[in-house]
Amino acid sequence: MTAKRFGKHWIGQDITWSVAMPLLMLCNGTVTAHFSGDGDENQRSAGSALPTITIPTGRRVSAELGKSLELTCQAFTGCSDKFSTIIYWLANQQFIEDLFQDGRVKEGKEEFLTDNGKMLIKKHLKFAKVIPEDFKTNFTCAVMNPAGSSEKNIILVRKKVSLSQTGPVR
């Protein structure tokens, strides 16, 4: 397996690269971008825009140790069709399925919505149970279309448990 460059991002799985390459021709039904051999973008299409991540809004998400958690990433695709944009989560710059082979953390399916005529894409990251190591992990939502890419880094912060949540003292 070899890593390949798409814009400014490295794609480490051949299957992901085989999905990303056709994106160059799909946005609005025409070839919308051209990449040289070194992965630098030479031109952009007037028909597509960079994807824009709208959720999450901040970089920190509260999580409770031992509890389940769901993170959501949502973005405007920048394209008029849903086939031109991909969205995925990384953990410490690794694909989720590679880092969490036990399945404790999984990506959900992509969802597509429209908002005022603009196409939105959404993907959840689901934790069966938050463990201490998760608070030391950098989670990244990445969204990519032929015009470029956007990413948002998220860190989990330990939610403080109040005395009222722990129950009566015996």
pLDDT attached to residue 57: 92
In a domain, 118, yes or no: yes
In a domain, 8, yes or no: no
In a domain, 108, yes or no: yes
Whether the predicted pLDDT of 9 surpasses 60:
no
In a domain, 73, yes or no: yes
Which residue in this structure is represented by tokens 């140790």? 65
In a domain, 12, yes or no: no
Q: pLDDT tier at 167 (50, 70, 90 boundaries)?
A: low
**Residue 91 belongs to domain with CATH number:** 2.60.40.10
**Residue 87 domain boundaries:** 48-158
Distance between CA atoms of residues 5 and 148, nearest Å: 12
Q: In this structure, what is the dihedral angle of CA atoms 96, 98, 102, 108, given to the nearest 10 degrees?
A: 30
**What is residue 127's three-state secondary structure?**
strand
Beta bridge partners of 20: none
Beta bridge partners of 112: 121
- Tens digit of each residue's pLDDT (9 = 90 or more) over 110-154: 999 988 888 999 999 999 999 999 999 999 999 999 999 999 999
Task: Look at 41-45, 108-112, 148-152, 160-164 and tell me which has the smallest mean pLDDT.
Answer: 41-45
Count of structural domains, the chain: 1
In a domain, 125, yes or no: yes
In a domain, 40, yes or no: no
In a domain, 30, yes or no: no
Whether the predicted pLDDT of 32 surpasses 80:
no
The overall pTM is greater than 0.85: no
